[in-house]
Structures are given as structure tokens and as C-alpha cells.
């Protein structure tokens, strides 16, 4: 429990205006975007520098106070919920873009910068940071969850774009990991240890990110199919024919229906694929488009909307970015349980078929980053109705178990947080014990984001 003296000491570190135990502030930092129950922190601190974060961590260590890092709380598995209360370290005051290195395709940032804002700045240099989770996430939160998104099929996840990190360890020690070379075989890969560790090992204050050049031209297609299997088989065939889509998304007919109602659209309510390809010349993209259309026709596509150029790409993709909001708006009073499994591409069709069967009696919406073998299921229901919610959780458990049986993972991108802890033993076997040993070594008092990852 935080005392009055703790508040005074934290204010001495971060400044009078940068520490709050006000009711509304605590409430805002008690939940993410998931259904997991909220937990109030005792205090929220907005540091301005690595030095301040280090001093907060040292003070917390001396007083054995839990510390949870906070980006903007858009997680979907309870990842930043401060289950053991204590201090929430909010990165809103650390949004600096420290240096752009256009010739090296790199940028140095503070952890609180929102990736969409970062990309606005980078576009002036013809560059962008490709991982794209859709929500207004921070770089710290994206590294915390190893977030990805629609462009991962071409560019990789957040962890594939980190070259250097500045990390504050429990106890306050500051370490610098990595270098600015494009490749390195030097020592253990600590960057990938911290990426996806959900703030349980260290708090990231700065990062050097690897960037990509903005694509010169775009081609996009929205294709509908009579059956789900036609759509999911198309995914496999496009990927195995040597094409390199920049994005490849599957949406089931329930998702299309909700988007139609919410956005006043008139799309065929059938299984749908959305695809994007990047290239240089219009001729080249047209030729690619013709091949893709052929593959779709072989799989009995019933309708194709397509276009070349950025405006056309934006027109075809706009509704995809609104999916989560549309589902929530069209199901007032209900809460979402969001599943996020990923499987090898060869099992994608079987996995989606299993999911559809499993959720047939639920208000379920199935979609995902098909090119990565990643599938999301949003089930809208009432956690307070224990009978109904037990059925939702049962479906979630069976879907994860099937993904693991297909040699996949319990979470493709949302992280373990609270909801996936129970699957780690099955997924990781003996290596889970090594993860726990690493946690004990780096955070012996279990002060950083306690209660996450491990049961
Ligand atoms: C509409 C919607 C769509 C989404 N789509 C996607 C998607 O397509 N792909 C995807 O991957 N995710 C998606 N997400 C989930 C979410 O946006 C990501 O997980 C994102 O990375 C969370 O970032 P954040 O800044 O909100 O972090 P938070 O939720 O605040 O925190 C995330 C985790 O990182 C830790 N953390 C935060 N900052 C730091 C730091 N500086 N150092 C160390 N740890 C830190 C936190 O303790 C927590 O464990 C979506 C969410 C929403 C609401």
C-alpha cells in the first residue's frame, strides 16, 4: 500500500504535476480493452526521462512496491492491468522522436511515442515503421506485447524491427542492448528476450527501430467466396505461388454483415479475402493482379472489387480498420472475449473450419491476418452470466488446444497477459521452467508487472 510519504518521494523524482492518486486517473489505468476485471493502481507516475524511470524503479525496489509500465492500455489480454496495484508508470510524457537516420533506415525514439504519429514524421523521409496493430499503440507497448498486424506477412512483427533498447531493470539499473548494425552475431539475443516480455523483466525507455521505405505503388483486391474453405485455400495458394502480399486478411460472413450494418455498406455477406500488394509500375501490378484473380477464380470466387494506386487501396481497406469498433457498436451491452491463435499456414483451412464449428451457437466474428496463419475470434457475450460465459471460455479453451495440436501458438500477437497464462505449460513444456528462472534472476522480488505470463 502506498503511503503519503511515498507520494512525496515520487513527486520529488518526477515532479509535483507528474504523480497522481486521483480517482479518475487510477480508474483510467485499471483496465485495458479486454473483458478482464479491472484492478486499480495506488498511484500513476508520468516520468520524463530514463533517469526518472530508473529512480522510480529503485525507490519501488527499496519499498517492495509493484511497478507496471503503461503505454495507452489498448491491450486485449489484460497485459497492463496492475493486478497487484502499486505504481503505474505511464509513458505519455516520453514521446520524443530523438533522431531519424534516413540513410540507415533507422529512428531513435522514446518508448511513449505512438507509432501512427511516428509514421507521420517518417513519411517526410520516405520511410515507415511497418508493424501496424491498428489501435493508437505506443512503441513501448508494442515492444512489450511484440505486437504485429496486417503488414506482418511482408515485413515481420515488432521484434523484427528493434536494433537497440534502453531498459530499466527492477532495482533501477539501466542497460543498453544492441547496436545500429543491420546484422550481428554478437552474444545472446537480449533484444528478443525483452520483446514480448510484457514489462515483466524490464521497462523500455528508448529504442532504435529498423524502418522500411514507403512503397511506390499499391494494388488491392476484395474477393468473396461461396465457402470458407475456398477463401482459406486461396490464402495458401497465393502464399505458395511466390507472391509477396503486403497484407492478406480473412473475414467471415458475420464480420462482413456487421460492417454492412454499421457502415451502411452493401458487400456480399460471404467469406471474404482482402489483399494488398506493393510494387513499382502499374503494368507490373496489373500482371500480378491477373494471376491473383486466376487463383481466386480457380477457388470459385463470386465477386472481386479491385484497384491500383493508394486511393484505391485506401477505399478497399478502410472497413477492415474499423472491424473491432463496428463489432462492439453493433453489440451494445455485451463484452468481447478475443481469441488470437496462430498456426502453420498448411493448417489454416482446418483451423478456421474447426473454429466455425466450435462457435456455431455463439455471437462470434472470425477474421484475421491470414497470410501469417493468425486468426482472431471475437465472441460478444455477458461475463456476468456465468452459464453463458462458461460456454464462451470453453470454446476459447478448445480453440487454443486445437491450435497447439496443430503445432501453433496460444497467441499470435496479443500476448499472454492474464487470459493465456494457463496454456503456457502445454505450449512450452520444459522451456517454461527456463522462462521462470530468467524471471527470478532478473526480477527476484517479482515487482515488475506481477501476475502476468505465469500462473
Ligand atoms: C481496436 C484494436 C485493434 C488491435 N489490433 C491489433 C493487431 O492487429 N495486432 C496486435 O498485435 N495488437 C492489436 N491490438 C492490441 C494492442 O493495440 C497492442 O497489443 C499494443 O501493442 C498495445 O500497446 P499500448 O501502447 O496500448 O500498450 P499497453 O496496453 O499499455 O501495454 C502493453 C504491455 O506492454 C507493457 N509496456 C507498456 N509500455 C512499456 C514499456 N515502456 N516498457 C516495457 N513494457 C511496456 C505493459 O505493461 C503491457 O504488459 C489491438 C487493440 C485494439 C484496441
DSSP per position, 260-297: HHHHT----SS-EEEEEEEES-HHHHHHHHHHHHHHHH
pTM of the model: 0.97
Q: Is the confidence at residue 321, as pLDDT, over 90?
A: no
Q: How would you classify the pairing of strands 19-20 and 43-45?
A: antiparallel
* Contacts with 244 (C-beta within 8 Å, 6 or more apart), sequence order: 154, 277
**Nearest residue CA, atom 53 of ligand 1?**
74
Pocket-forming residues, ligand 1, beta carbon under 6 Å: 32-33, 68-76, 79-80, 91, 111, 133-135, 137-138, 140-142, 144-145, 147-149, 198-199, 203-204, 324, 413-414, 449
pLDDT at site 352? 96
Q: If you take atom 52 of ligand 1, which residue's CA is the nearest one?
A: 135
Q: Are 83 and 72 in contact (CB under 8 A)?
A: no
Please report the pLDDT score of residue 312 as a whole number. 96
Residue with the larger pLDDT of the pair 441 and 1: 441
Mutate-to-test residue for ligand 1 from 115, 130, 147, highest number of ligand atoms within 8 A of CB: 147
pLDDT of 134 above 90: no
Q: What value does the mean pLDDT take over residues 412-440?
A: 97
Buried b (16+ CB within 10 A) or exposed e, 411-425: bbbbbbbbbbbebbe
Q: Which residues have CB under 8 Å from 201's CB, separation 6+?
A: 169, 193, 194, 438, 439, 442, 443, 448
What is the pLDDT, as a whole number, of residue 1?
Answer: 81
Per-residue exposure over 17-37, b if at least 16 CB sit within 10 Å of its own CB, e if not: ebbbbeeebbeebbbbbbbbe
Nearest residue by C-alpha to atom 18 in ligand 1: 75
For residue 15, the model assigns a pLDDT of 98
153: CB partners within 8 A, 6+ apart:
245, 246, 247, 248, 369, 371, 372
Q: How confident is the model at residue 163 (pLDDT cuts 50, 70, 90)?
A: very high
Region 92-114 average pLDDT? 98
Residue located via cell numbers 505512438: 114
Residue-wise pLDDT for 26-80, tens only, equals 999 999 999 999 999 999 999 999 999 999 999 999 999 999 999 999 999 999 9
Whole-number Å distance between alpha carbons of 176 and 184: 15
- Distance between CA 58 and CA 388 in Å, rounded? 45
Residue whose CA is at the smallest distance from ligand 1 atom 44: 199
- 157-185: average pLDDT: 97
Alpha-carbon torsion 269, 270, 271, 276, what sign?
A: negative
The pLDDT tens digits for 251-293 are 999 999 999 999 999 999 999 999 999 999 999 999 999 999 9
Give the residue from 246, 373, 375, 231 showing the smallest Cα distance to 313.
246
Q: 194 CA to middle of ligand 1, Å?
A: 14
Predicted confidence at residue 322, as pLDDT, reads: 87
Amino acid at each position: 500500500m502506498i503511503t503519503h510519504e511515498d507520494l512525496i518521494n515520487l513527486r520529488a523524482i518526477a515532479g509535483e504535476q507528474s504523480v497522481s492518486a486521483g480517482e479518475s486517473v487510477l480508474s483510467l489505468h485499471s483496465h485495458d480493452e479486454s473483458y478482464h476485471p479491472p484492478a486499480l493502481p495506488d498511484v500513476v507516475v508520468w516520468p520524463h526521462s530514463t533517469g526518472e524511470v530508473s529512480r522510480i524503479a529503485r525507490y519501488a525496489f527499496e519499498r517492495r512496491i509493484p511497478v507496471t509500465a503503461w503505454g495507452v492500455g489498448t491491450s486485449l489480454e489484460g497485459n497492463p492491468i496492475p493486478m497487484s496495484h502499486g505504481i503505474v508508470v505511464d509513458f505519455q510524457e516520453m514521446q520524443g522522436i530523438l533522431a531519424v537516420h534516413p540513410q540507415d533506415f533507422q529512428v531513435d525514439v522514446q518508448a511513449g511515442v505512438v507509432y501512427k504519429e511516428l509514421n507521420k514524421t517518417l513519411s517526410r523521409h520516405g520511410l515507415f515503421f511497418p508493424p501496424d496493430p491498428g489501435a493508437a499503440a505506443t512503441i513501448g507497448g508494442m515492444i512489450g506485447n511484440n505486437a504485429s498486424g496486417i503488414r506482418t506477412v511482408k515485413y515481420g512483427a515488432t521484434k523484427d524491427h528493434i536494433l537497440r533498447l534502453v531498459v530499466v531493470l527492477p532495482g533501477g539499473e539501466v542497460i543498453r542492448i544492441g547496436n545500429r548494425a543491420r546484422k550481428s552475431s554478437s552474444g545472446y539475443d537480449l533484444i528478443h528476450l525483452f520483446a514480448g516480455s510484457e514489462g515483466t523483466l524490464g521497462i523500455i525507455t528508448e529504442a532504435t527501430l529498423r524502418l522500411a521505405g514507403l512503397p511506390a505503388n499499391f494494388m488491392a483486391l476484395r474477393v468473396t467466396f461461396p465457402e470458407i474453405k475456398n477463401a482459406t485455400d486461396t490464402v495458401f495458394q497465393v502464399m505458395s505461388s511466390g507472391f509477396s502480399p503486403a497484407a492478406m486478411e480473412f473475414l467471415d460472413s458475420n464480420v462482413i454483415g456487421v460492417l454492412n450494418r454499421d457502415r451502411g455498406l452493401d458487400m456480399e455477406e460471404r467469406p471474404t479475402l482482402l489483399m494488398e500488394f506493393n510494387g513499382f509500375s502499374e503494368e507490373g501490378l496489373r500482371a500480378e493482379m491477373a494471376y491473383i484473380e486466376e487463383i481466386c477464380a480457380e477457388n470459385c470466387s463470386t465477386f472481386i472489387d479491385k484497384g491500383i494506386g493508394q486511393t484505391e487501396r485506401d477505399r478497399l481497406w478502410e472497413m477492415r480498420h474499423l472491424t473491432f469498433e463496428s463489432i462492439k457498436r453493433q453489440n451494445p451491452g455485451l463484452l468481447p472475449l478475443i481469441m488470437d491463435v496462430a498456426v502453420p499456414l498448411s493448417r489454416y483451412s482446418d483451423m478456421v473450419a474447426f473454429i466455425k464449428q466450435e462457435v456455431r451457437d455463439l455471437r462470434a466474428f472470425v477474421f484475421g491476418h491470414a497470410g501469417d496463419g493468425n486468426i482472431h475470434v471475437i465472441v460478444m457475450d455477458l461475463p456476468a452470466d456465468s452459464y453463458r460465459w462458461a460456454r464462451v471460455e470453453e470454446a476459447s479453451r478448445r480453440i487454443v488446444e486445437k491450435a497447439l495440436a496443430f503445432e501453433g501458438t496460444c497467441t499470435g500477437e496479443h500476448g499472454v497477459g492474464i487470459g493465456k497464462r494457463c496454456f503456457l505449460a502445454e505450449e512450452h513444456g520444459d522451456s517454461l521452467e527456463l522462462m521462470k528462472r530468467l524471471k527470478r534472476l532478473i526480477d527476484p522480488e517479482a515487482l515488475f508487472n506481477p501476475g502476468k505470463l505465469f500462473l
